Amino acid sequence: MNGRPLKAILIIATLDTKGPETQYLKNLIESKGHRTLVMDTGILGSPPFKPDISRDEVARAGGKTIENLIRDREKGKAIQVMAEGSKKITQELCQKGKISGVIGLGGAQGTEIGTSAMRGLSLGLPKLMVSTVASGYAQFGTYVGTKDLLMMHSVVDILGLNAFSRMILSNAAGAIVGMVEAKGEFNRLEKKQIGMTIYGTTTPGCMVAKAYLESKGFEVVAFHPNGTGGRAMEEMIEEGILAGVLDMTTHELTDELLGGLHRAGPKRLESAGRKGLPQVVVPGSIDFIVTGPIESLPQEYRNRKYIAHNPSITLVRATLEEMKAIGKLMASKLNEARGPTVVMIPLKGFSYPNREGEPLFDGEGNQAFITSLKENLKGIRVIEIDAHINDPEFGNETGKMMEKLILNGF
């Protein structure tokens, strides 16, 4: 590189326990021509070298002082304070254009603090967490959330430098530097981006709609509505990134209501309406509950229709009463919409196994949903199409309606 970059790579670590390792990582990154900023998120011990952002600055940003945290001797509370403080400071550095990427080192405590700071950053900014808990039974959803955050398993504990930890840290330095140098810029003005939800059970219809919209100059950003995907789309709507939403696969509502694995939280299907974005909403895959492996299926589901979607996931058909409840829930959310909103219903089935002759088909249950939805909607247009969700004619019609809402509103 010619000259040192103006922006720095931020290193987040607890220097009281990870001091030598942080210094080693800092030297590696700087040897590759990049500036660094070190943020100390340790609590108990003094740092072995002076950081750019002290632990007391972090604690104060989180609402306390280090003296308070040490005196109170409440580890959980202290981690929460340091996590909040590191998040605030990291966001400020990013907003001021002072950092080009973030890397963290830690065990369970350091990973909680470091990833908390990274989850507060925008998509695209390089984020890497070198962690002792990035394997085994770690709950990645907790650490990664909805962001493009890379977890790297340290393999050995981050406790002193040795042949193995040096190798891991060297790879980590190369990874964060490589991401920073390769970072592309997001230009949302090039095309109008449309968010689309797509499952394996709705893929054929979604692909037709996607192809139609792309032929008209739109860019389709697909989200897998497995809980994380739906939350990510809602966040991007809130950030003003998307021009419209083709919510073809609203399955997460079902799992949120009935306790399935792919829950996206109680705010799903609300952001587009609140922001006034044009939205086309389809009951894609709302007809089943996502559960675990078939051998672990609860007894209460064994008397229902169900299929093994893959070795890890079983799809269990929702009952007639549950379908009514889903219709009512969807209506309650859409009734709050401030922008152009249309519901499009495929009368011949909502997912690939929910078609006449397929294992999860239940015409009466499907109709119960439709009736409940229409009875509870207030002023929202409903279009019923005599096709299956995966039929080309349905995909084309949803794409055309999305285009119409964006260009002309109602």
Instruction: Report DSSP letters for 69-127, one per residue.
Output: HHHHT-HHHHHHHHHHHHHHHHHHHHHTT-EEEEEEEESHHHHHHHHHHHHTSPTTS-E
> Three-state DSSP class for 357?
coil
| pLDDT tens per residue across all 410 residues of the chain | 456 677 999 999 999 889 999 999 999 999 999 999 999 999 888 899 999 999 999 999 999 998 888 888 788 888 899 999 999 999 999 999 999 999 999 888 888 899 999 988 888 899 999 988 776 544 556 777 778 888 888 887 787 888 888 999 999 999 999 999 987 655 554 568 999 999 989 999 999 999 999 999 999 999 999 888 898 899 889 988 899 999 999 999 999 999 999 999 999 999 999 999 999 999 999 999 999 999 999 999 999 999 998 888 999 999 999 999 999 999 999 999 999 999 999 999 999 999 999 999 999 999 999 999 999 999 999 999 999 999 999 999 999 999 999 998 66
Topology, domain 193-408: Rossmann fold (3.40.50)
**What gap in Å lies between CA 190 and CA 220, rounded to an integer?**
13
Written out in words, the top-level CATH class of the domain with range 8-182 is alpha beta
Q: Would you tell me the crossing angle of helices 363-376 and 320-334 to the nearest 10 degrees?
A: 30
Instruction: Give the residue extent of every domain in the chain.
Output: 8-182, 193-408
